[in-house]
Amino acid sequence: MTRGRTSAALPKHAQISEMLIRDIAAGRLADGARLPPEREMAEQLGIAVGTLRKALETLSNEGLLDRVQGSGNYVRARGGVASIYSMLRLELKAGGGLPTAEFLGVDRLPKPPGVTAFGPSDAGWRFRRLRFLGGVPAALEEIWLDGAQAAEIAAEDVSESLYLFYRERLGLVILSAEDRVSFAPVPDWGDARFPPVAGAAAGYVERIARDSAGAPVEFSRTWFDADTVIYINRIGKA
């Protein structure tokens, strides 16, 4: 078990591209908006110009950016972009917010009783995390992966995106999910940095996630701070 450890960080250029993709989806960067000059933007973000250019190349490849020689970089907003966090439905109320996470525990345990069946094993890998959005403590996450998907999981190998870890390390692609959103009491295993105290009502999401064959392989529950975070699901074109 590992506690109080920040998840393996995404490369800096990937963090910046994900932040920009989420800002475009949230409307914080409007269609047609011209980004600041690259050197100025890199300085604002505290990164090298080369790192920024790698991030912008990702957006360009996804059709989210027009890079006009001698003029600048222009946002081209559209839906359905396959980003690392495309299945994360939580955003700051102001929109977007770069996701990061800190592990509160990783264990192989018997699956919890009373939940929708997911996978053939009686055991599961349980991940508990504190989720941040834009550096703000936003949610508590408890994710259960079917134990048949991995005999061993080294906590230090897990990235800030579990679905990226599944794909790259386990060969598992999460293709679809069903979310059920309601309210529920905050669990007693939480972290003092998460504003709602244990037992207080918080936004709540239960998810069953399915692999590329449509089989359920993951069950998760997320408690989020409804004062600062919203659950949002965009459908069709913005």
| 125-153 tens-digit pLDDT | 999 999 999 999 999 999 999 999 999 99
pLDDT band at 10 (very low <50, low <70, confident <90, very high): confident
Question: What pLDDT score does 197 carry?
Answer: 95
* Predicted TM-score of the model (pTM): 0.81
Looking at residue 106, its pLDDT comes to 84
| CA dihedral sign of residues 134, 135, 136, 141 | positive
In angstroms, the CA 58 to CA 49 distance is 14
Distance CA 229, CA 101 (A): 15
Q: Residues with Cβ < 8 Å from 91, sequence gap 6 or more?
A: 22, 26, 97, 133, 229, 230, 232
pLDDT beyond 50 at 1: no
Neighbours of 230 (CB within 10 A): 15
SS3 59: helix
Q: Mean per-residue pLDDT for 50-69? A: 92
CA 145, CA 121: separation in Å to the nearest integer?
10
Q: Which helix (H) or strand (E) holds 198?
A: none
User: Please, what is the average pLDDT of the chain?
Assistant: 89
Among the listed residues 47, 3, 5, 214, the one whose alpha carbon sits nearest the alpha carbon of residue 20: 47
The burial class, CB within 10 Å (0-12 / 13-18 / 19+), for 108 is: middle
Q: Give the whole-angstrom CA distance, residue 105 versus residue 115.
A: 20
Contact 49, 38 (CB under 8 A): yes
Q: What is the pLDDT of residue 150?
A: 95
pLDDT in tens, 71-116: 899 998 776 666 778 788 999 998 888 888 898 888 999 999 999 9
Give the least confident one: 9-13, 41-45, 119-123, 196-200.
9-13
Structure tokens at 29: 């960067």
Cα distances from 70 to residues 32, 133, 161, in angstroms, run 16, 34, 36
CB 211 within 8 A of CB 174: yes
